[in-house]
Chains A and B, each alone.
Chain A
Amino acid sequence: SAVISQKPSRDICQRGTSLTIQCQVDSQVTMMFWYRQQPGQSLTLIATANQGSEATYESGFVIDKFPISRPNLTFSTLTVSNMSPEDSSIYLCSAEGVAKNIQYFGAGTRLSVL
């Protein structure tokens, strides 16, 4: 299994600012994923991040709003840009282990935008 450290665990931000969320994996992984989860709801995939190439975004999510970096096989960041109260949510990163095609998740970042 892979252990994923995500930070910050929570933050309160002002409208119009940006927040960068970091995701560190304890082993090399091919694919990393970023999800958004509204309280009490399911997970929605924002984008898939492959090392050395641009992230692939899902419908409804754009790079200008959610830029992603994947500089190596153990690390990725998601930036939530020009935030509005509608961006208040939980953001989770995950990574797929090399065996068994299992995704492991970080503990999530609870973002509140005022």
Chain B
Amino acid sequence: AQTVTQSQPEMSVQEAETVTLSCTYDTSESDYYLFWYKQPPSRQMILVIRQEAYKQQNATENRFSVNFQKAAKSFSLKISDSQLGDAAMYFCAYRSAKTSGSRLTFGEGTQLTVNP
């Protein structure tokens, strides 16, 4: 079974600075997807970024980028030029590419605080 680990329960960053959230996972599969979701106090889970394991190039979405290290099974999220609206719980998630409708396996989450 796959597992996802986020070793940082809480992180904080100054507004306009850069922060990196860590995520490691364990799997025996070679083809899969990795995600970062953001959950603000409104509870809405918002997709931040998606990475396909067969792609070596790291995914980027505006101020958000990932460092995907397949051999090390590491998938960190970098947030540049942090904004107050980035404050939220961030979840790393794994999905097998084997079948349609595969479940997501979530990490424990990292609570990010952005200080003005």
Contact = CB atoms under 8 A, between A and B. Distances in A.
Asked if chains A and B come from one complex, the reply is: yes
B45 to A, nearest CB: 4
Contacts of A108: 43-44
Contacts of B33: 101
How many B residues touch the partner, as a band? 20 to 34
Nearest to B104: A103
A108 B46 CA distance: 12
Contacts of B91: 42-43
Contacts, number: 53
Interface in B47-95: 47, 50, 89, 91, 95
Interface residues of A, number: 23
A31 interface: yes
17 contacts: A30-B101, A31-B100, A33-B103, A40-B89, A40-B111, A42-B91, A42-B107, A42-B109, A45-B103, A92-B43, A94-B45, A94-B104, A100-B50, A101-B102, A102-B47, A105-B37, A107-B44
